[in-house]
Chain A
Amino acid sequence: GENVEQHPSTLSVQEGDSAVIKCTYSDSASNYFPWYKQELGKGPQLIIDIRSNVGEKKDQRIAVTLNKTAKHFSLHITETQPEDSAVYFCAASYGSGNTGKLIFGQGTTLQVKP
């Protein structure tokens, strides 16, 4: 079945360094790849997304890259700050029709040390 693998499961960086989280997906029909940030006790929040017809997208300190041939996509956070500490999830669309179903990776706990 459809699957999304996410690595690493935990990531610790110094404030100001960059952080990279990688995901691979199995469904070649997937065409939408969002990233969510989840803070303690809250629901996940969308931080950036990318469609399959785009190779890279940036929003201030956050960027996402997509390699459709290799079926992997990555989240890049530059100049990390303590408030970036959270759990990050990647996801990929799956299923026929426009049901909007997403399959999620296992999550990455990012710790940014001051």
Chain B
Amino acid sequence: DAGITQSPRHKVTETGTPVTLRCHQTENHRYMYWYRQDPGHGLRLIHYSYGVKDTDKGEVSDGYSVSRSKTEDFLLTLESATSSQTSVYFCAISESIGYTFGSGTRLTVV
């Protein structure tokens, strides 16, 4: 996915540990989003950003925090990972309408 990269691609972590996922874009888009994808639920919005240091909660934000100190980077942090946060996490970017998604991070909490 040109212009947007997520890291890591895969991660296994233990319950109670902090985890940070990174989304990096080279498109200089204003909006960035974090979604999680789970079977039967489609994609659900966790947090989004509409500019540097401007962030807001989505529909499933409990247990997650985000930061955007630079236009190109949007970090998602699980302060204390739980098994219910095992999921595939997608970052998306947008300038006005229409998203470009990253390739995703598969997170397993054991």
Contact = CB atoms under 8 A, between A and B. Distances in A.
B94 A100 contact: yes
B70 interface: no
A103 B101 contact: no
Contacts, number: 62
A98 interface: yes
Interface stretch (A11-19, A42-50, A75-83): A42-50
A105 B98 contact: no
A107 B102 contact: no
Interface of B: 1, 31, 33, 35, 40-45, 48, 50, 56, 58-59, 90, 92, 94, 96-104
A32 B98 CA distance: 9
Among A34, A44, A106, A107, the one with the most B-chain Cβ atoms within 10 Å of its Cβ is A44
Contact of B50 (A89, A99, A103, A106): A99
Interface of A: 1, 4, 6, 32, 34, 36, 41-46, 49, 89, 91, 93, 98-107
Closest 3 CB pairs of A and B: A43-B101, A104-B42, A104-B43
B43 A46 contact: no
Contacts of A34: 97-99
Contacts of B33: 100-101
A43 B42 contact: no
A107 B42 contact: yes
B42 A100 contact: no
A45 B33 CA distance: 15
A45 B101 contact: yes
Given A43-B102, A101-B58, A32 B45 contact: no
Among B42, B96, B102, the one with the most A-chain Cβ atoms within 10 Å of its Cβ is B42
Contacts of B59: 1, 103
6 contacts: A34-B97, A36-B99, A43-B102, A44-B99, A91-B43, A101-B33
